[in-house]
Homo-oligomer: A and B are copies of this chain.
Amino acid sequence: MKITLAHGSGGLQTTELINNVFANRFSNPVLDRMEDSAVVEGAPRIAMTTDSFVVNPLIFKGGDIGRLAICGTVNDLLMRGAVPKYITCGFILEEGLESGILEQAVQSMADTASEAGVIIVAGDTKVINGNGGMYINTSGVGFVSEGIDCASANCGIGDAVIVSGNMGDHHAAILSDRMKIENDIQSDCAPLTDMVKSMLDEHIEIHAMRDITRGGLATVLNELAVSSGCMIEISEDLIPVDKRVKSFSKILGLDPLYMGNEGKLAAIVKKEHADKALDIIKSSMYGQNAAIIGNVSAGEGVVVNTHLGGRRGVGVLVGEGLPRIC
């Protein structure tokens, strides 16, 4: 079956689409009520975020737009030290979309939500003219415990900089697919609930956390340095990059520092807690290649100590990056 404009008009065909594609896969006591909004248990402090996903292709090695859409929002909540709880999904479907692709994405969302410990509490579907594409917005709410204050401005001099794994996998996987390059590079698309919750449970003093997506590690660290009014120094040799991604990047003249991931974070952690934090991340799902790559110091900007013993400043991503990477 192909999606038509009638599937988005709010009548019988919209109801059929909801029943056949969404309702059974997303079923839970809150969503099943099918109300204008979901009423759920709250908390004294909540985190909220939103992200739209326009990745092209819709299905790629290591994931698909559905998994990506859950991971992106779950990870954004986690980065503030929140425990993700509720997700809403807004689908914009292009006319001509194969319902099989939609079903795969929806199933992925259901599976990933379950893995990440969130429930999907509300949804919406619209149909636009087009060529069979699909866009998904997810928004999320998480609960933030008292005393947690993870924010970009909180990096302190002496703090350790940890990344949770290899840089650039998602970017390289998407680009390989678009360029029809055969390799076995997989997207790292994953929810980071396990590693972050474990750090919170162990009272690791995390001053700031960011997931490393569009713009890559260099952009994220620059934003942290600016917000905190400090310098971040990292060592090229310590930055984990899969060797297949390294050679792929070299051939194309890409710098893994600017390549997006979808299941990696940078954590700025109190120096004394860095080793323990690293152990926790390394023993968590998706964290086995984590590394301490540098530290926060006085000054400004981001500086990389290169393999050859030099020092270079790295700025934020300028220009296009890879369009529609997420």
* A249 within 8 Å of B (CB atoms): no
Q: Which of B79, B143, B318 contacts A12 (CB 8 A)?
A: B318
Q: Which of B15, B44, B52, B88 contacts A124 (CB 8 A)?
A: B52
* A33 within 8 Å of B (CB atoms): yes
CA distance A79 to B34 in the complex (A): 12
Looking at A5, A46, A123, A152, the one whose CB has the most chain B CB atoms below 10 A away is A46
Which residues of B sit under 8 angstroms from A11, Cβ to Cβ?
214-215, 219, 316-321
Q: Which of B40, B45, B137, B215 contacts A50 (CB 8 A)?
A: B137
CA distance A209 to B35 in the complex (A): 10
- CB-defined A-B contacts under 8 Å, sample of 16: A5-B320, A6-B320, A9-B320, A10-B213, A10-B317, A11-B320, A12-B319, A35-B152, A36-B79, A36-B80, A36-B209, A37-B76, A39-B47, A40-B46, A42-B43, A48-B122
Chain A contributes a number of interface residues (CB within 8 A of B) equal to 83
A139 pairs with B50, CB closer than 8 A = yes
* With known contacts A50-B139, A124-B50, A215-B9, A316–B37 Cβ distance under 8 A: no
| Dominant secondary structure at the A interface | mixed
B37 pairs with A48, CB closer than 8 A = yes
- Which residues of chain A from 284 to 326 have a CB within 8 Å of any chain B CB? 316-326
A42 pairs with B46, CB closer than 8 A = yes
Interface residues of A (CB under 8 A from B): 5-6, 8-15, 33-54, 75-77, 79-80, 82, 86, 88-92, 121-124, 126-128, 133, 135, 137, 139-144, 151-153, 209-211, 213-215, 219, 227, 260, 316-326
